[in-house]
Amino acid sequence: MDSNAEKTAGSHRFWGETTAFLALFLDNVGTLIFFSAILVFTFNYPAEIILTRMIPGTAMGICIGDLIYTWLAIRLRKKTGRKDVTAMPLGIDTPSTIGIAYAVMGPAYVATHDAQLTWHIGMATLFMIGAVKVVTSFLGGWVQRIIPTAGLLGPLAGIGLLLLGFLPLIELFNEAVVGMVALGLIFTALMSKMQLPGRLPGVLMAVILGTGIHFILGFGGYLPEFTAPSLDMKFSLPVFAFDFLRNLPQSVQYLTIAIPFGILTIIGGINNTESARLAGDDYRTRDILLTEAFSSLIAAFFGGVAQTTPYIGHPAYKKMGATWWYTLLTGTLIGVCSIVGLLSLFVSLIPRAVIAPIFIFIGFEIMRQAYKDSPPAHSPAVSLSMLPVIASLVLIILGQFMSAMAATPDKLPIRLQTMHQTLTMLSNGFIITGLLWGSILAFLIDHRARLAALCAAVCAVFTLFGIIHSVLPTGELYLPWKIAGHAPTMVAVGYFALSGILLSLAKPKDETAR
C-alpha cells in the first residue's frame, strides 16, 4: 500500500513538474514568436537580427533569472525542511514586450530604416527599464501606495485588451482553421480547466496540431502568405557588449515607456511574492525584485530587448505539484536552445495563429486583474485609462495601410491631417497618459479633488515637453519653444484649466473623506 502511494505521489510530482515546465517554457516561446512576428510582418524588420541576436540575448536574462529563482527555492527548502517548496516562475513580461515592439522598436525602424540602430535602441530601452526596476525595488511599495491601482493597472488592461487581445485575433482569422483548433484547445485547457482525453496538456496539443495543420494547408496552397520554413539552426552565442550605450541619448525619448513598464513589473513582483507567501512559500520580497531587475539589466548587455518578471500564478504551479525542477529545466533549456539555434527554430516554425489564443487569454487575465484589484467604484477610472491605447492601435493599423500605399500624413486632406495629428498626440506616451487619467478620475471619485488637480497639472507640464502627447511622429521629447504650431500649448492650457476647475471644487473635508 505504501509502495503504491509512493508511486502515485511520484507520478503526480513528475507530471506536475512536466506540466509546469511546458506552461512556463511555451509561455516564453510564445511571447518571442509574437514579438518576432510584430517586427517582421508589421514593420518589415529583418528576421536575422531577431533570431541570432535579440532572442539569444533575451534568453540569457530568462536563464539567469530562473536559475536564481531555483536557487532561492532550494535555499527556502533547506531553511524550512519542507519538500513541497515551489520556485517562483520567471519569464518574459508579455505586455511590455509587445509594447516595446509596437511603441519603440517598430516606430524606430520605420523612422531610421537602420536595423542595427533599432536593435541598439531596444537594448538601451531595456537597460533603462532595468535601471528603473533596480531603483523601484526599494520604492515599489511607496509607489503602490500613492498611485491609485486603477491608474497603475488601467493602461496595462488597455494593452491586454487591444494589443494582446484584438491584434492577435487578426492573426487568428488570417488562418481560421489553424486558429480555431488552437483556440478550442487552449481555451478549454486554460479557461474551463477541462481535461483532454488521456490528460494530454491542452497547450502542447494546440501547438502540435495547429502547427501540423498550418503546414498541411500551406504546402497544399491554401495559405497565400505561406513560405516553406528553413530548418537551419545557427549557433548564436550571446556576446557581452557596451556598444548600445552610445545610442542611449537617442533612446531617452522612450523613457516615458521604460518608467511605467519598470514600475508595473516591480509592483507585480510585490503582489506575486505576497501571493506565494499566502500559498506557503515565504520568499524575501527584495530577493525576488532584485533578481528580476538585474536579470533584465544583464539581458540588455547580451543583446536582449525584453524584460523578465516573476509570473502571476505561483499558487497554480504549486497546485500542479511543481517544486524547483520546472524553473531549472526552463532556464537551462531556454539558455541552451537559444545558443544552438533551436529556440529560434521554434520561433520560426510555430505559426502566429497557434499562439494567438494564448495572448488573448493573457489579455483577458490582465483586464480581469485590473478591474478585480481596483476598488469597484474606480472601474470608470480603469476604463478611462485604457482609452489612449486605442489611439495607438488605430495608428498601428493605419500605418500599415499608409506604408503599403507609400502615403505620408502631409499628403492627406487637411481634415485627415488634423485627425492623424490628434491620434499621434493621444498615442505618444499613452502609458503615462493612461496612468494620469486613471489617477485623476480615481482621486475625483474619492472626493480628493486637490490630488486630481495635481495630476491634471502634471499632465499639462508633461504635455509641454512631449513626455505625453508629443506632436512628433517618433514621440520624441522637446523644449516647447522649439516646436512649430500651438498644439502642445493648447492641450497644456486645457489641462491647466481642468486643474483649476478641480482645485476650485476642492474642500478641506474632501481630503479627509477617504
484 inside domain: yes
Q: Is residue 249 part of a domain?
A: yes
Per-residue 3-state assignment (H helix, E strand, C coil) for 338-401: HHHCHHHHHHHHCCHHHHHHHHHHHHHHHHHHHHHHCCHHHHHHHHHHHHHHHHHHHHHHHHHH
Cell of residue 426, nine digits = 493621444
Cβ–Cβ under 8 Å, residues 219 and 213: no
Mark whether 489 and 406 lie in a shared domain: yes
**126 lies in the same domain as 263:** yes
Q: Tens digits of per-residue pLDDT, 225-269?
A: 788 777 777 788 888 888 888 888 878 878 777 887 888 788 778
User: Would you say how long the chain is, in residues?
Assistant: 514
* Domain's final residue, options 374, 409, 431: 374
Q: How far is CA 77 from the centre of its chain?
A: 31
> Could you tell me if residue 198 is inside a domain?
no
CA 191, 192, 196: angle at the middle one, nearest 5?
Answer: 110
Does residue 387 share a domain with residue 349?
no
The three cell numbers locating residue 487? 498644439
Residues 403 and 319 grouped into a single domain: no
Q: Of 374, 409, 434, which residue constitutes the final position of a domain?
A: 374
Whether 414 and 477 map to the same domain: the answer is: yes
The closest alpha carbon to 129, from 260, 39, 278, 217, belongs to: 260
Q: Are residues 402 and 352 in the same domain?
A: no
Residues 292 and 398 occupy one common structural domain: no
Give the residue from 87, 86, 97 showing the smallest Cα distance to 65: 87
Q: Domain for residue 440, yes or no? A: yes
- DSSP 3-state of 93: coil
pLDDT of residue 180: 95
- Is the confidence at residue 364, as pLDDT, over 90? no
Give the number of other CB atoms < 10 A from CB of residue 469: 27
Residue 307 pLDDT: 93
Structural domain boundaries enclosing 451: 378-512
Residue 513 phi, psi dihedral angles, 5° rounding: -70, -25
Cell of 334: 531556454
Is residue 55, in this structure, part of any structural domain at all? yes
CA dist list (Å): 194 to 188, 191, 199: 6, 8, 9
Position 5 scores a pLDDT of: 45
Cα distance between residue 36 and residue 57, in whole Å: 14
* Count of C-beta atoms within a 10 Å radius of residue 319: 13
Q: What are phi and psi of 440, to 5 degrees?
A: -55, -50
pLDDT at 377 over 80: yes
Count of domains forming the chain: 2
Whole-structure pTM value? 0.79
Query: For 172-202, what is each residue's pLDDT tens digit?
Result: 999 999 999 999 998 887 777 777 777 777 7
pLDDT at 14 over 90: no
Contact between 20 and 326 (Cβ < 8 Å): yes
Residue 146 lies in a domain: no
For 115-158, the pLDDT digits (tens) are 999 999 999 999 999 998 998 888 777 777 888 989 888 888 88
Q: How sure is the predictor about 514, in pLDDT bands with cuts at 50, 70 and 90?
A: very low
Q: Are residues 63 and 15 in the same domain?
A: yes
Same domain for 329 and 286: yes
> Strand pairing partners for 92?
308
Is 98 within 8 Å of 38 (Cβ atoms)?
Answer: yes
pLDDT tens digits, one per residue of 473-495: 877 778 888 888 888 999 999 99
37 or 76, greater pLDDT: 76
Identity of the highest mean pLDDT range in 223-232, 301-310, 392-401: 301-310
Torsion of Cα atoms, 370 then 65 then 347 then 248, to 10°: 80
**Residue 337: which H helix or E strand, with range?**
helix 325-340
Q: Which of 374, 401, 420 is the last residue of a domain?
A: 374
312 inside domain: yes
In this prediction, residue 121 carries a pLDDT of 92
* Residue 387 and residue 351 share a domain: no
Q: Do 505 and 460 fall into the same domain?
A: yes
Q: Is residue 161 part of a domain?
A: no
| 249 and 105 together in one domain | yes
Contact between 295 and 308 under an 8 Å Cβ cutoff? The reply is: yes
Phi and psi, residue 83, nearest 5°: -90, -10
Is residue 199 packed enough to be buried (19+ CB in 10 Å), middle (13-18) or exposed (0-12)? exposed
- How far from the centroid of its chain's Cα atoms is residue 179's Cα? 22
Closest CA to 354 of 162, 484, 208, 240: 208
